Structure 1
Amino acid sequence: MHPRTYQSWYRDWLKFAADAGFEGVRPYALRHIFATLNLASRENIRTEEALMGHASPACTLDLYAAYVPNTGIGIGKRYMSFL
């Protein structure tokens, strides 16, 4: 198998996108959809870091913290119980 050029890959992407109803969607957007759906389904942040190829879990959280369920719930209660 020979390596593909970007142009041939992109031509195939445009055909796929048109057939699937994804016109106007950049291929890179699918990466964010993948990460968002995984985190919304409660995937472990370390697993997500490895899947996305990020340097650290902090990098993943910087990008996707809003999609991690329950990140903000209970913080106030924890602090109040500490006081």
Structure 2
Amino acid sequence: MTILLFGVTKDIVGSSTLSVPTTSVTGKKIPNTVRELRQFLGDAYPELNKLSSLAVAVNNAYAKDEQIINSYDEIALIPPVSGG
């Protein structure tokens, strides 16, 4: 599954995209919901846990933690934004 990263999430990960395995070769649980994906990414990139908010979009719509995700979904991490 490919995740699109923007703003500070891109800086934290060091890339504008991130590939998450859809099958487990290490014995780790593969994320099946937005909540599990947040946990998976927070474990891999602890700096993401420090953000004041982090929205997840699935197929161009904001997603709730309970939403099921699939390997073919378009997923984006949307960090907090500031402006004036």
The structure where strand makes up a greater share of residues is 2
The structure where helix makes up a greater share of residues is 1
Q: Give the TM-score normalised by structure 2.
A: 0.25
Q: Give the TM-score normalised by structure 1.
A: 0.26
Give the greater-gyration-radius structure (CA): 1
Structure with higher RCO (Cα < 8 A, 6+ apart): 2
